[in-house]
Amino acid sequence: MSQLKVLKASAGSGKTFNLTLEYLKLALSGNPRYFSRILGMTFTNKAAGEMKENILEELNKLAVDPGTSPHYNKLIKSLKLPSGREKAVLKNRAEKARSAILLNYHDFSLSTIDSFFQRIVRAFFRELNLASNFDVELNPDEVISDAIDDYLFTMEEGDPLIEKINDIQDQLIRDEKSSQNYKKELKKLAGELFRELDFSVSARNEEELGDYKKKLESEMKGIEVRFLEIKEQLRAEIEKFDVTAGDFSGGKSRSIPAMILNRDEDKMMDILDKATINNKLELEDAWVKKSEKGARREQLMNACNACMPIAVEIKKFLTENKENYITNKLLLENYLSYEVLSKVEQIINNYLSQENIFLLGKTYQLLRNFVTESDSPLVYERIGNHYKHIFIDEFQDTSRYQYDNIKPLLEESLGTGHENLIVGDIKQAIYRFRNGDWALLGGQVQRDFGLVVQEEKLLQNWRSRKEIIEFNNALFPGLAEAVQQHLTDEMKEADFKPHDPDTFKLLEEIYRRENVEQEYPEKAKVKGKGHIQMEFRAYDPEEVRQKEAVEVVYKRLEEQLLQLEKKGYSAGDIAILSRNKRQITNLIPLLANSAQKFPDSRIFDFFSEEVLTVSDSPAVQMVLSVFRLTAYGIQDPKEKRRMMLQLGFFAQKAGLKRPFEQKGKWPGRGELKLPGDLDELVQSGASLGLDGFYKKVLKVLDLGSTEAKGQFYYLSALEDEISDYASKNGNDLIGFLEYWDEKGNSKTIEPPGGVDKMQLMTIHKSKGLSFEIVILPFADTQLKPNLTKPNILWVEDKRSSNGESAENSAFPVRMKDDMKKSAFRYEFWKEHYDHYTDELNNFYVATTRPRQALFIYAFEKQRSKRNNDFRPHCLQDHLLNFASEKMHEKESAETDHRIFVREKDSWEALSPPPEKESRETEPTFELKKLEATGTLPEVKGSWRPNPLSSSPTGKRHAVEEGLILHRILELVNINSEIPAAIRAVIEEGMIGRDEKDHWKKRINDAMGLDPVSEWFDETLEVMNERDILIPGGKRYRPDRVVIDNQKAVVIDYKTGSEHPSHNKQIETYTKALSQMGYTEVEGWLFYTDILKTRRVV
C-alpha cells in the first residue's frame, strides 16, 4: 500500500536508528537485490557515508547472529517470517542481501541529494543543452571571481559596464568607503544570483530597465513638485496676513507651518507618523498660543483658519502617496544593483559556457521544469536504475527547488503503491541562508500528499542525560511563546495584517510543548546526572575596550576548562560552539596562550575545521617555500635568499632541523647553502610535474618522518589541492603558486578522526553531532535582524507587472524600516519573523548537542538604569528571566556576575566521561596519513587524466602508454565495447584522432596475452573499478573483477617496475573475495606499459 511516512525526529531521538530499521524492512523483504530499488538522500557526504555504515553494520549483525541486532524483534514482526524458523530465514536473507550489496556496491544508492541530481544532469546533458564533458564546480565564489576578473581584464572602452562601475564608485564614496572596492561590490552582488529565484535577473533588457527607472523617478518627481506647490500656497497664505511661520505656537522650528515649510516631502512623511503633529493639524490651540490676546490673536487666528485647510490638504496628499513614494524610493536606492546584476549574470553565464563549467548550485533550477515534465520511468532508465522507494533525511533543510525535483519521483512511487520515508525536524532547520525552506515539512508535504501521509513523532531522547532533556523541555515552549507574543505585538503596532496569518504563528507551533518535550528512556545508555549552568555578567564598557570584550568571556572560560579537567574530562570531550567564525577566530590565540601558561594541562588542545587552514601548517609552508625557490629563486638571488630564510623559519616552527647550512653568526646573515639533494631538487623540480615534485620535496625534507607526524593532515590536504589543480590546469608551477596565493591558502582541513582535541565550531557545523560537554560562550544574541548590515530581499512590484510574469516585476531591495510603510511590508515582516525563528532554531541545535553538561555564558556591556527594561529581541534577557524563575542561583563574589544551575548539586554529581572504547583493528592505510618514506600510500580512486599523456605517440614514456591503456580497459566490459572506449579517450583529449589505429593494434596485442581475452568474455559478469566492502567497513577497489558462478578473477593494472607490494595488494583483494563466499579465486597483475601478465593467486 502506498504510504509517505513522515518521521518527525527531535534532537537525539534515534532518527538514524529508525531510518536504518525502515531500510532493512524493505531490503530484507525477499529479493536480495531489492536494496537497489531504494533511493536514500541526505545533505552531506559524511551523513550519506554514516547511513551506509549503519545499514551495513546492522546487516552484518543479522547475517552473523540476528539476535544481536537491536532491530531483530521489529524485523521479525514486520517481515512476517515463517513461524518457528524466523531467525534462520532472517539470517539467510541478511547473508544474501549483504553479499548482493558488496558485489553491487554501485547500486547501493544512499547519497547526497546533490550527487543524485548530478547523475540526472549527466544523463540528460543533450536535452539540457550541455556539453558532454562539462566540469562540475562546487564553489560559486570562485566562478564569480574568475568570471568577473576575466571580463574586467578584457573589457573594452565604451563598455556599458564602465558607466555602472563609475556609479558604484560614486556610491562607495558617498558611503565613506574606498572607491577601489567596486570589484568586491560586484562579486558580492553576484552572490544574489545563487538564491532560489523564480526568474532570471537578466530577463529584462537594458532598455526596459531604463524605462522603468524613468517611470519611478517621474512618479517621485511628481509628488515632490505637487508638495512644493502646496507648500508655496501655505507660504503665500501666511504672508497675506503679515505674519511668519515663527509667529505661530512652537516658534521658528516647532510651529506647524514651520515644520511643513522647513521639510521636504520625505521628512514630512516621517513626522506625519508622529502624534505630535498628526493629531494637532486641525486644533486651533496647536496653531495659536492661548497667551496671544486682542488684535494679535485675531490676526493669527485669521491666518490659522486660512492655512489649516492647506495643511490638511498636505497631510491628505502625502498620506495618499506615501506608500508609492517609499516603494519607489526603496526600488531606486537599489536599482543600480539590479542593473549591474543583470549584466553580471550575462558575464557569468558566458564564462560558464566558454569554460564548459556547470555550477552545482544551478542543478535544481536547470532540472526543475525538466524533471516535472518528463516521465519518472524515463529519468530512471537514463540513470540505470528504477527506484521504487524514496528515503529523504534532514528534510527540514530541503530547498523549494530541490523539493520540486523530488516531488515527481515521490508521486511516481506513491502512484505505484510503494512506501516512502521523510525524516526531519523543523526545530533544527538552520539552513535558510542556503535556500532551506522549513515550510515544506511544516505543511507543504501534507497539502501535496495528504491522504497517504502518515506522521510519527519520536518522543524519546537517547543522547542526553535526563537533566539536559528536562532543561530543553522547560526552556523552549516558554521562550517561543514570549517571542511569538513580542512579534505579534510588533505587527499589531505597525498595523500589519497578513493575508496568511498562520504563516506568522509558525514559531509557536514549532515549539508547542507537545512538539518539544522529550522523554528520558529507561533503557538509555547515558547514565549519571547532567549539569546545566548559565552565567550572566555585565562589564563596564569604559573599562573594557571592544576588542578586549572577548577576554572577559575567555577569563571565565579558561577557569571552567581547568575545572573540567580536574573532574577527569579531556579536551576531546568538549565542544565550544559559536554563532559565527569570527568568534572562534578570537578564541584561538587565547587558547594557545593558555596552553603555554599551563604546560602540564592538555585541556587547551583544540582543533577547528572551519577556521584552521592548510596554510596554518609550517610543514606546508616549507613545501611551498621549495616550490617558490624553483619558480622564482633560480634567477633571482634576493628571492632565493628570502625563500631559504622562510624555509628555515618554518622548519624551526615545525620543530624540524633546518634543511640548509648557514655560515655566519647572526640569524638571517651570512652565506646560505642548500644541501646537495635539495639544491638538485630545486634545479630540476619543475620537470617532475606538480605531483612528482611535491612527493620528492616530502622525501628530501623528511616530512614523512615521525617528527612531522602532527603535520600529516595538512600535507595530505595540500596534496589534494596540488592534484586537483594539476588535473585541471596541467603542471604549471608558477600558475599553481599564483592560484595558491589567491585562493588555495584559505582552504580548510577536515579534523583528524580519533584525536583527543577540543572542537571549536559554529552551531551550523555542529548539527548532527554530539559531545560530552558543550560550552556556548557567546549567548548575548540579538534575535532581530541587524538592519545596519546589507540584507537584500527580492520583492515583486505588482504595480509594474500589468499581467506580466513575476520575472518582469521582481527587484532587489535592501531590508530597512521603511519597508514597513511600503508595498513590500509583507516581505519585511516575513523576513523579520523568519529571522527570529532562525535564531531560536540555532539555539535549540546548540543546547541539544551535549550528552552530559551544558554551559551558557551571556556577558554584555552594562546598561544604564534608564535603559534597563526587558528587551524581547535579546536572547540573554529571555534566558535571564528563565534562569531567575526556573534555576538555582549560586553565590558569587562578584556582584555583577550571576551564576545559575539547574540542580543545586549537579556540578558535584557530574560524573567523568565514560571510558573511550579501544578496538583492535587490522593495520590500515588512511587517506589522510603519510608513510615515513615521505609519500602517500596508494589509494585507489576514480581516474584522473595525466596532463602529460596528451603527448604525441612516440614521445611518450612507456608508463604513459600504460596509463592510457589502463584508461581504455577501464571503460571496457566486453570485447565489442573497445571501439567506443577508444572514441571516449579521444574525446577526453588523452590521445589524438590520428592515433586510433595505433591503439587498436596495441589493444589487439594485449588481448593476445594469456589469459587477457578471457577476462573480456561476454558470458561473464564484470565489475570495473567497483568498491568491495567487508564487515567492519573496510573498502577495496580492484581495477577489474570477472565472475563466473562461484569463480572470481581479480585483475589489477600496473605500470613501472614489478614490486612485492603489488603481490600483497592482489592477495588482499582475493582474500576479500574468498570471504564473500567465492569457492575459486584467482588474482592477476597486468603491466600495461610492457604488456605482461602474471598470476599471483
Percent of the chain at pLDDT exceeding 90: 39
Contacts of 688 (CB under 8 A, 6+ apart): 696
**Strand, coil or helix: 939:** coil
Write out the three cell numbers for 910: 557530574
Indicate if the alpha-carbon torsion angle 170, 173, 177, 178 is positive or negative.
Answer: positive
* Dihedral over Cα of 990, 995, 997, 998: its sign: negative
pLDDT for position 203: 59
Confidence of residue 942 (pLDDT cuts 50, 70, 90): very low
- Give the per-residue pLDDT at 308: 93
Report the DSSP beta bridge partners of residue 1005: none
Mean pLDDT (whole number) for 547-553: 79
DSSP 243-303: --GGGSTTHHHHSHHHHHHTS-HHHHHHHTTSHHHHTTTT-HHHHS-TT--HHHHHHHHHH
Mean local confidence (pLDDT), 309-317:
92
Indicate if the pLDDT at residue 868 is higher than 80. no
Confidence of residue 861 (pLDDT cuts 50, 70, 90): confident
Tell whether the model's pLDDT for residue 993 goes beyond 60.
Answer: yes
414 vs 168, which has greater pLDDT? Answer: 414
- 3 state DSSP class of 761: strand
Q: Say if residue 801's pLDDT is above 60.
A: no
pLDDT band at 946 (very low <50, low <70, confident <90, very high): very low
Q: Bigger pLDDT: 804 or 25?
A: 25
- Which residues, at least 6 apart from 546, have a Cβ–Cβ distance to it below 8 Å? none
- The DSSP 8-state label assigned to residue 666 in this structure reads S
Query: What is the gyration radius of the CA atoms in the chain, in angstroms?
Result: 35
Q: 130: which 3 cell numbers?
A: 550541455
pLDDT above 80: residue 371: no
Plot region of 1033 (φ>0 → left; ψ -120 to 50 → alpha; else → beta): left
pLDDT of residue 730 exceeding 90? no
User: Residues near 434 by Cβ (< 8 Å), separated by ≥ 6?
Assistant: 397, 399
Per-residue pLDDT at 667: 41
Say whether pLDDT at 800 is over 70: no
* Segment (H or E) for 320: helix 294-333
pLDDT digits (tens, 9 = 90+) for 894-922: 767 899 999 988 898 887 766 544 333 33
CA torsion 396→399→404→409, rounded to 10°? -50
Residue 380 to residue 33: CA distance in whole angstroms: 17
pLDDT digits (tens, 9 = 90+) for 10-41: 999 999 999 999 999 999 998 999 999 999 99
Phi and psi at 1052, nearest 5°, equal -125, 130
* pLDDT of 808: 59
Whether the predicted pLDDT of 214 surpasses 80 = yes
254-271: average pLDDT: 87
- Which neighbouring-strand residues pair with 899? 535, 890
Q: DSSP letter at 177?
A: S
Residue-wise pLDDT for 591-623, tens only, equals 988 988 898 999 998 888 787 788 888 889 999
Q: Is the pLDDT of residue 952 over 80?
A: no
Of 23-32, 943-952, 1068-1077, which range is least confident?
Answer: 943-952
Crossing angle, helix 958-970 and helix 978-987, to 10 degrees? 120
User: DSSP label at 375?
Assistant: -
User: Residues 1074-1094: what's their mean pLDDT?
Assistant: 88
How far, in Å, CA of 532 to CA of 776, rounded? Answer: 11
Instruction: Using the predicted structure, report yes or no on whether residue 975 has a pLDDT greater than 80.
Output: yes
Closest CA to 363 of 395, 406, 305, 302: 406
pLDDT attached to residue 385: 67
Given this model, what pLDDT does residue 234 score?
94
**Confidence at residue 248, expressed as pLDDT on a 0 to 100 scale:** 93
d(CA 390, CA 50): 18
At residue 143, the pLDDT reads: 83
Question: How do residues 812-846 score in pLDDT, each as one tens digit?
Answer: 899 999 999 999 999 999 999 999 999 999 999 99
Say if residue 449's pLDDT is above 70: yes
- What is the reported pLDDT for 888? 94
Query: Is it the case that residue 422 has pLDDT exceeding 90?
Result: yes
Confidence (pLDDT) at 660: 64
Paired sense of beta strands 1034-1036 and 1028-1030, if any? antiparallel
> What pLDDT shows up at residue 337?
79
CA dist 935 and 1062 (Å) reads 16
- DSSP single-letter state for residue 708: G
Grid cell, residue 1026, equals 567497483
Q: Which DSSP letter does residue 977 get?
A: G
pLDDT score of 761 more than 50: yes
* Greatest mean pLDDT range, 242-246, 644-648, 1016-1020: 242-246
Predicted pLDDT at 5: 95
pLDDT band at 1031 (very low <50, low <70, confident <90, very high): low
Give me the pLDDT at residue 110, please. Answer: 93
Choice among 46-60, 78-92, 458-472, 982-996 with the minimum mean pLDDT: 982-996
Q: Which of 591, 643, 674, 700 is nearest to 934 (CA)?
A: 700
Question: Where are the alpha helices (H) located in 137-274, listed in sequence order?
Answer: 140-154, 160-174, 182-190, 206-240, 251-254, 256-261, 265-271
Place of cell 622525501: 699
Q: Give the mean pLDDT of the chain.
A: 83
Task: Summarize the confidence of residues 1050-1079 as an average pLDDT.
Answer: 82
Instruction: Tell which phi-psi region holds residue 294, choosing left (phi > 0), alpha (psi between -120 and 50) or beta.
Output: left
* Candidate ranges 145-149, 285-289, 390-394, 888-892; pick with highest mean pLDDT: 390-394
Q: What is the pLDDT at residue 225?
A: 94
What are the two backbone dihedrals, phi and then psi, of residue 454, each rounded to the nearest 5 degrees? -125, 110
For 174-198, write each residue's pLDDT tens digit: 666 665 677 777 877 778 877 777 6
The arithmetic mean of pLDDT across residues 735-756, rounded, is 75
Most confident of 743-747, 834-838, 993-997: 834-838
Q: Given pLDDT bands bounded at 50, 70 and 90, which one contains residue 288?
A: very high
B/e letters for 1014-1032, b = 16+ CB within 10 Å, e = fewer, are: ebbeeebebbbbbebbbee
Report the range of poorest mean pLDDT among 420-424, 597-601, 712-716, 816-820. Answer: 712-716
Helix residue ranges, H only, 887-938: 906-909
Fill in the DSSP letter of residue 629. Answer: I
Residue 947 has pLDDT above 70, yes or no: no
